[in-house]
Amino acid sequence: MSSNKQFDVVVIGAGPGGYIAAIRAAQLGFNTACIDEWKNDKGGPAPGGTCTNVGCIPSKALLQSSEHFEHAGHGFAAHGIGVGELSLDLSKMLGRKNAVVKQNNDGILYLFKKNKVTFFHGRGSFARASEGGYEIAVAGAAPETITGKHVIVATGSNPRALPGAPFDEDRILSNDGALRIAAVPKRLGLIGAGVIGLEMGSVWRRLGAEVTVLEALPSFLGAVDEQIAKEAHRAFTKQGLKIELGVKISEVKTGGEGVSVAYADAKGGTKTLNVDKLIVSIGRVANTTGLNAESVGLQLDERGAITVDDDCRTNLPKVWAVGDVVRGPMLAHKAEEEGVAVAERIAGQHGHVNFNTIPWVIYTSPEIAWVGQTEQQLKSAGRAYKAGSFPFLANGRARALGDTTGMVKMLADAKTDEILGVHIIGPMASELIAEAVVAMEFKASSEDLARICHAHPSLSEAMKEAALAVDKRTLNF
Ligand code: FAD
Ligand code: NAI
């Protein structure tokens, strides 16, 4: 094993947390290395982590393709467009998705070069603490040991399996297998009506699968504002997603051609769901496999996540951790923000992540997006608030698009009028939410947004109207 390249900063993991931290550290003048073990189908490097390889990017590529398919089949006719007999080339659709992933992998390798980040392809693990920092062993095609004065751990997360039903990626699928099913299954089951369950369920339903989602909790989308969750449940059910709430899975068996799931329904009745494929999306767990954390005494919490303070400092001096491997929402943009903040803290600057203004998006149709607090959170905190909402049905651009489901809902402090939360279900909610994030970062009042000129006709007018609705003075509803 050759030794011993010295770096100011060594980042372990090149997902959104790690690769962004490495770029920012290099921008700040640090001699930076980034290690990542993900392999593409040819065994080469595939930086970008879960997000790029089996998460955000491929899921959005398939959501887009399947939405086009659905529009061509059911939506175009209303615009006077006939497409003849609809056909699906699934292998081409999956190939396009793979190409989009590769563009992103290549983009990150290019960015590393551009920013002079030294990339190592292989598994990084703590070897020992040394005088100059930490020795990190890189187990790849060319094993070596490098030293970092500072180490940023960004090793991400893995899908959680159901007890007794390990992923085989053939019939019991994680997010990985769910993104590369070779033929549209006739019957698809999903365990967990969370973000992955709804996004992947939407993809395969649009492509023709009969989809059933089994969810343990008695309420649908518990973290989402209740009014929005209700609207979402209505929309997804109308589209044909079968969603059963309050279930308790007792056994999952593979056999013959498919999978059978035995469960108790909300009333305690025993039921069996037989499907061709089963996607299990019941949350994710922090990944520290192979990191050899114990060799240096890096502390993990009871759930296996790396323990950090508010600034992403671990219990070890000059060892930091960001993204899915630490507490907080498992979102790519949260990981990125933490990566930037840590690089800046290493440089003695005041990096900052505002957890109150991290947006959430579920990329279904209609899209769901929110920032800040829900109405039920404000109620249980006893905070006096005003609410205003505006339906897309009354928005000219939404009518022209032919997509009028949903609304924008705004919550503001009853006294100061400061915006406390914005909740959207409807077209392009993922883009519209950015305005609410900016407004909340600047501590805007609903009146501030109501007084800002918004282009007509645009979906963003629904945001302005929701702000006007807080003061009960909508103009178009
Ligand atoms: P990861 O992206 O998991 O990256 C960790 C990297 O570290 C990996 O490349 C891994 O190979 C590498 N690694 C681990 N251990 C080692 C080691 N010892 N040595 C070397 N390398 C190592 N979030 C959103 O914000 N928007 C979305 O639309 C979205 N969609 C998603 C869809 C799906 C299906 C899934 C599963 C997730 C989605 N997420 C989304 C969540 C998002 O992917 C994660 O929050 C994000 O990837 C976390 O980034 P990270 O850098 O912390 O970890
Ligand atoms: P999730 O936390 O969103 O949803 C998991 C669901 O499974 C919950 O509703 C939970 O109640 C349910 N569940 C848990 N155990 C169960 C059981 N035994 N039986 C039945 N239901 C059970 O987790 P998911 O969908 O796996 O996604 C993981 C994370 O990935 C998300 O929390 C999110 O952070 C990230 N993600 C983000 C996306 C986005 O930003 N658009 C898209 C996809 C994933």
| Residue 211 within any structural domain of the chain | yes
- Output the residue whose Cα is nearest ligand 2's atom 3: 194
**Residues near ligand 2 with C-beta < 6 Å?**
162, 191-197, 199, 214-217, 249, 281-284, 329-331, 361-363
| Per-residue model confidence (pLDDT) at position 4 | 78
Query: Percent of the chain scored above 90 by pLDDT?
Result: 97
Q: How many domains are there within the chain?
A: 3
266 plus 304 within the same structural domain: no
pLDDT score recorded for residue 192: 98
* Average pLDDT over the chain, rounded to an integer: 97
- pLDDT (0 to 100) of residue 255: 87
Q: Final residue of a domain: which of 331, 353, 375?
A: 353
Residues 14 and 137 occupy one common structural domain: yes
- How high is the pLDDT of residue 188? 98
Q: In this structure, is residue 380 part of a structural domain?
A: yes
From the CA of 330, give the closest atom in ligand 2: 34
Instruction: Give yes or no: residues 31 and 107 share one domain.
Output: yes
Determine, yes or no, domain membership for 277: yes
Distance 155 CA to ligand 1 centre (A): 8
The residue whose C-alpha atom lies closest to atom 8 belonging to ligand 2 is 194
From 307, 331, 353, the end of a domain falls on 353
Q: Are 188 and 277 in contact (CB under 8 A)?
A: yes
Quick one: 298 and 208 in the same domain? no
Domain containing 458 — which CATH number? 3.30.390.30
Query: Do both 213 and 257 map to the same domain?
Result: yes
Give the atom of ligand 1 at the shortest distance from the alpha carbon of 50: 2
Substitution candidate for ligand 2 out of 195, 281, 330 with most atoms within 8 A of CB: 195
Please tell me whether residues 434 and 367 are part of one structural domain.
Answer: yes
pLDDT tens digits, 45-90 = 999 999 999 999 999 999 999 999 999 999 999 999 999 999 999 9
Ligand 2 atom closest to the CA of 196, numbered from 1: 25
Q: Are residues 301 and 271 in the same domain?
A: no
pTM greater than 0.95 (yes/no) = yes
Assign 3 a pLDDT band (cuts: 50, 70, 90). Answer: low
Which CATH number belongs to the domain containing residue 291 in this structure? 3.50.50.60
Domain carrying residue 366: 359-470
Same domain (yes/no): 232, 85: no
Burial (CB count within 10 angstroms: exposed 0-12, middle 13-18, buried 19+), residue 443: exposed
Indicate the residue among 337, 353, 369 that finishes a domain.
353
For 305-330, how does the pLDDT look when each residue is reduced to its tens digit (9 = 90+)? Answer: 999 999 999 999 999 999 999 999 99
**166: in domain:** no
Given this model, what pLDDT does residue 141 score? 86
475 lies in some domain: no
- 121 catalytic? Reply is no
HEC per residue, the chain: CEEEEEEEEEEECCCHHHHHHHHHHHHCCCCEEEEECCECCCCCECCCHHHHHHCHHHHHHHHHHHHHHHHHHHHHHHHCCCCCCCCCCHHHHHHHHHHHHHHHHHHHHHHHHHCCCEEEEEEEEEEEEECCEEEEEEEECCCEEEEEEEEEECCCEEECCECCECCCCCCEECHHHHCCCCCCCCEEEEECCCHHHHHHHHHHHHCCCEEEEECCCCCCCCCCCHHHHHHHHHHHHHHCCEEECCCEEEEEEEECCEEEEEEECCCCCEEEEEECEEEECCCEEECCCCCCHHHHCCCECCCCCECCCCCCECCCCCEEECHHHCCCCCCHHHHHHHHHHHHHHHCCCCCCCCHHHCCEEECCCCEEEEEECCHHHHHHHCCCEEEEEEEHHHCHHHHHHCCCCCEEEEEEECCCCEEEEEEEEECCHHHHHHHHHHHHHCCCEHHHHHCCCCCCCCCCHHHHHHHHHHCCCCCCC
